[in-house]
Structure 1
Amino acid sequence: MSHFNKPDAGIRKRTSTFSRGRSNKPKPGLQKHNYSIEHMDGLGQGVCKQEGAITFIAKTLPGESGVARIHKRSKGVQFATVDAADELSPKRIAAECEHFQQCPGCHYLHTDYQTELSFKQDALTKIMQPLLRSGHLSEQSISVVAAPERLSYRNRMQLHYRHKYIGLVDAATNQVIEIPNCKMIRPEMQSEFDALYGDKTWSESRDGKGHCELYLDESGAVKETWNSDYADGGFTQVNDAMNAVLKSLVSDEILNAKKAPSRLLDLFSGNGNLSEKILEKSEETLPRVMVDVVPNNHEDYLKIDLFDEGALKRFKKLSSFTQFDSVLIDPPRKGFPALTYWMKACKPKQLIYVSCNAATMARDLQALEGKFTIDKMILVDLFPSTYHFETVACLSFK
């Protein structure tokens, strides 16, 4: 059996799960709790229901048991970190990253990729239960698109610093966990990333705490910003390979609709990341209207804050069209509660909803009125090794 397939790798029975250095081991004296993991939750945590409490424990797997230390209680549940393990899952493998046990950035490197995808699909299916019960969606319509690479895919990395320490903040200890040998960053950014740890003169001119962001711009150059807004140079998906997959998937769904679209509305369009591919692949000229609040120089762009109460009224006033065959929407994590009003106004035959938060997507889709079917729901794994994923819902209206 290879090292990476050893089921006891990473956490050893009845030994500490923490390596030397700036440890995230809970402070001495925190209450111990016996655990037995029943299943995984949507945040990549093992769920234990015993001793009269619901406990969430990161870096565990179903079937594992042992002793954990409680580090937080909130709203009737508690959160813990493994202190010692009695039983380990045969699905456990040695994490390919030495920082995994301490680092809050990855959640599934202690198991194989297919198991990770199954956990994500289970999470998506659970979130969509109301739509499954209503008959708008069938479980057979839910599918998964896997990523080609599990590591070395991030073209953007935000690190937090406190004095001379730089890395990711662990919520359990509120400490910065340094990750000098992180496996997630793209090779093109490695030199600049290494420099942050190799030469800490940056700390001499920066007191207290803040953040640094490394990213690849459109030309492939590595950019570095300090204490600026996230994605200060313009938002891009962190996984180029899977973003290309996402764009192709969305364009195929729209262009292969039962009725070829004659007009396309792109809400929360950004710079047209998703809809540009549709126009490129369309055999005929396809009128498009993009709507968002970010800077955009396209002629078919309307700058409107879609969360503003008067957004729909303003759109009707400014847009050359008010009805569209196809609507594409890619909102931020909070979703788009006004979706149902826009669907009533635009009367589309097709809606493609792309979301980085399946819970708010489910809420928005449940609020839709009229007859519709979710023909496909596709989990696109833009964020391997983490609990995050992108979801594409393909709806048809009658």
Structure 2
Amino acid sequence: MKETKKNHSIKIEKGQTFPLTIKRLGINGEGVGYFKRQVVFVPGALPGEEVLVEATKIQPKFAEGKVKKIRKQSPFRVKPPCPIYEECGGCQLQHLAYAQQLKEKRDIVIQSLERHTKLALQKLDIRDTIGMAEPWNYRNKSQFQVGQQQNGKVIAGLYGLDSHRLIPIQNCMVQHPLTNKVSEGVQQILEDLQIPIYDERKRKGIVRTIVTRAGFSSGEVQVVLITTQKEVPRKKLLMAEIQKRLPEVKSLVQNINGNKTSLIFGEKTIHLSGEEVIQETLGDLSFELSARAFFQLNPVQTVKLYDEVKQAAGLTGKEKIADAYCGVGTIGMWLAAGASEVRGMDTIESAIIDANENAIKHGITNATYVTGSAEHWLPKWVNEGWRPDVIVVDPPRTGCDKKLLDAIKQVKPKKFVYVSCNPSTLAKDIDYLSRDYHVEYIQPVDMFPHTAHVEAVAKLVLKV
């Protein structure tokens, strides 16, 4: 009788404790190791560490665990400077020395390419991550949920890791100091005036979120109060107190969101006092930021990111550029001086209105922006005799729409510059284009120090 082959893999059970060697960081900043051939994700563990792990969640293809003991510590492990780092969950890598964070982020890009492409990575130029000289206080915007303790004290912060417990944040180390100061000031005013605070469990109350954005160059601050309804008790007094106590606030806005949703903003926005916008500058370009306008969260690194896009485009003054997912036109305007013409497109009409106004304001006469998808406009322009030499994309985390990639294959620009905020979708999209395009290099950029996020600029060149 023929003996059947035994399956030697042992299934991990919840609560089981076992030793684990951490091989690398995952895309969410967790340590990744293998136990009995099963992948295990361990938040807080670092590559090279030997840890004792307790299994907390079991999934069909992987397990999650928590560190019980570090038996061999990474030489790059540091003490997180933030006192609520382990509770908050906003950052994932404060316990890793910053120079090593940059190396691990490059490795996250490489892992994505290994997983999702057939490219020969040993021949690929994946450059060292561009970091920050001062990797703190870089975020220009905060969105803090508001809550109220039993003693009446109003708190604002983020929900804890895997929980609905609100963690009060008073002086976030990655936020611009002005956003910290103003957020704290507004929550004190709400408490002093006894404005009803939204209780998520009871679904009662009015103020649910404080959104604060600071202009790094202008020093101006915009506050958006997210409320469940239009009517707010003592609203005029609330506006007056914010103006009196917080003179930095140049724009005060109310947004109404009464829905049971994880989305911050609702559909209706009301301008309360001050200006409707605040001013911000990137390089030689200035922008007016309204409450709903998208703008990069790290202005210092945005200049470096856009300069990398300019370098990858390699402009001589003769190129026609198509700027897909253009938003308010920042990348296209950054490139316009070196191009013969820029045409941008986005499906969000309000962003296109802002983009055209921004171009007029800056005297940029060779850039125009239209509403609609790139897959609609690119073939249409080609049929009309306008063919782009360079296409630049800056898509959302989901990556490029397949129809857009097909349009790029059809249009065949000489250069394709891909700005990515998600290495996995970047790798998948590159793989899809690999028959027609050669990847010249990938440049990772650290837009969010102490988090697991990494952005990248990929330069693709048409194969001849």
Shorter-normalised TM range: 0.7 to 0.9
| Structure 2 match to 1:334 | 398
Partners of 2:19 and 2:50 within 8 A in 1:
yes
The equivalent residue for 2:176 is 186
Instruction: Specify whether residues 67 and 177 from structure 1 end up closer, same or farther in structure 2 by C-alpha distance, changes over 3 A only.
Output: farther
TM superposition shift of 1:108: 1.4
* 1:111–1:143 CA distance, 2 compared to 1 (3 A): closer
Distance 1:375 1:388 in 2: 23
Distance 1:261 1:346, change over 3 A: farther
Among 182, 191, 196, the residue aligned to 1:205 = 196
Note closer, same or farther for the CA distance 1:44–1:216 as it changes in structure 2 (3 Å cut).
Answer: same
Give the superposition deviation at 1:200: 5.4
Pick closer, same or farther for the CA change 1:198–1:80 going to 2, 3 Å. farther
Look up the SS of the partner of 2:167 in the other structure. strand
How far is 1:111 from its partner?
A: 1.8
Distance 1:51 1:364 in 2: 33
Q: Please give the residue correspondences for 1:68-147 in structure 2 after superposition, counting only pairs within 5 Å.
A: 68-129=53-114, 133-135=118-120, 138-147=123-132
Q: Which moved more, 1:263-272 or 1:315-324?
A: 315-324
Quote the residue 2:310 is aligned against. 251
* Residues 1:274 and 2:343 are matched in the alignment: no
Cα distance in 1 for residues equivalent to 2:37 and 2:299: 45
Superposition pairs for residues 140-155 of structure 1, below 5 Å?
140-155=125-140
Query: Which SS does the other structure have where 1:191 is aligned?
Result: helix
1:293 equivalent in alignment to 2:283: no
1:368 and 2:433 correspond? yes
Q: 1:37-60: CA deviations, max 9, x gaps?
A: 422212110123236753322122
Alpha-carbon distance in 2 for matches of 1:319, 1:371: 21
Per-residue displacement from partner, 1:108-149 (whole Å, max 9, x unpaired)?
111211111111111101111268743488333433212222
TM-fit CA distance, 1:35: 4.0
Closer, same or farther in 2 for the Cα pair 1:369/1:72, shift >3 Å? closer
What does 1:231-242 correspond to in 2, within 5 Å?
A: 232-242=291-301
Residues 378, 411 of structure 2: 8 Å contact kept: no
Query: Which residue pairs with 1:14 in the alignment?
Result: none
**Structure 1 residue 150: deviation in Å?**
1.3
What code does the residue aligned with 1:213 have? V
Classify 1:305/1:179 alpha carbon distance in 2 versus 1 (closer, same or farther; 3 Å). same
Q: Find the counterpart in structure 1 of residue 322 from structure 2.
A: 265
The whole-number CA distance in structure 2 between the counterparts of 1:312 and 1:58 is 43
Residue in 1 that maps onto 2:47: 62
CA positional deviation for 1:376: 1.3
Equivalents in 2 of 1:130, 1:55: separation in Å? 17
Cα deviation for residue 232 of structure 1 reads: 4.4
Which region of structure 1 is more displaced relative to structure 2, 287-296 or 59-68?
59-68
Deviations 1:314-370 (A, max 9, x none): 861799654110111111111112233221332210110101011111111211264
- CA 1:319–1:167 in structure 2 vs 1: closer, same or farther (change >3 Å)? farther
2:294 partner letter: F
- Tell me the secondary structure at the aligned position of residue 172 of structure 1: coil
TM-score (norm 2): 0.70
Mark the runs of 5 or more structure 2 residues left unpaired by the alignment: 1-13, 150-154, 201-207, 227-254, 256-263, 266-289, 357-366
Task: Measure, in 2, the Cα distance between the counterparts of 1:82 and 1:396.
Answer: 45
1:160 alignment partner in structure 2: 145
Deviation at 1:106, TM superposition (A): 1.0
Structure 2: how far apart are the matches of 1:204 and 1:369? 57
- 1:23-38 to structure 2, matched below 5 A, reads 31=15, 33-38=17-22
Secondary structure of the 1:391 match is: strand
Alignment match, 2:280: none
The CA distance in 2 between the partners of 1:181 and 1:216, in whole Å, is 15
In 1, distance between residues paired with 2:187 and 2:79? 25
> What is the percent sequence identity of the aligned residues?
22
2:437/2:460 contact within 8 Å kept: yes
Q: Are residues 1:226 and 2:225 paired? A: yes
Contact kept, 8 Å, 2:125 with 2:442, in 1: the verdict is no
1:269–1:353 Cα change, 3 Å: same
Partners of 2:421 and 2:133 lie apart in 1 by 19
CA RMSD of aligned residues (A): 3.0
TM-score (normalised: structure 1): 0.80
Q: Bigger shift: 130-139 or 264-273?
A: 130-139
SS at 1:274 equivalent: helix
Give the match's secondary structure for 1:223.
strand
Give the AA of the match of 2:142. M
Q: Which amino acid aligns with 2:330?
A: N
Give the 3 Å change call, closer, same or farther, for CA 70–326 of structure 1 in structure 2.
same
Instruction: Indicate conservation of the 8 Å contact 2:17/2:52, yes or no.
Output: yes
Write the distance in 2 (CA, Å) between the matches of 1:156 and 1:324: 35
> How much has 1:373 moved relative to structure 2?
1.1
Instruction: Read off the aligned partner of 2:27 and give its amino acid letter.
Output: G
Contact 1:64–1:89 (CA under 8 A) maintained in structure 2: yes
Q: 1:123 to 1:136 in 2, by over 3 A?
A: closer
Alignment gaps of 5+ in structure 1:
1-29
Deviations 1:217-239 (A, max 9, x none): 58542122233556943011111
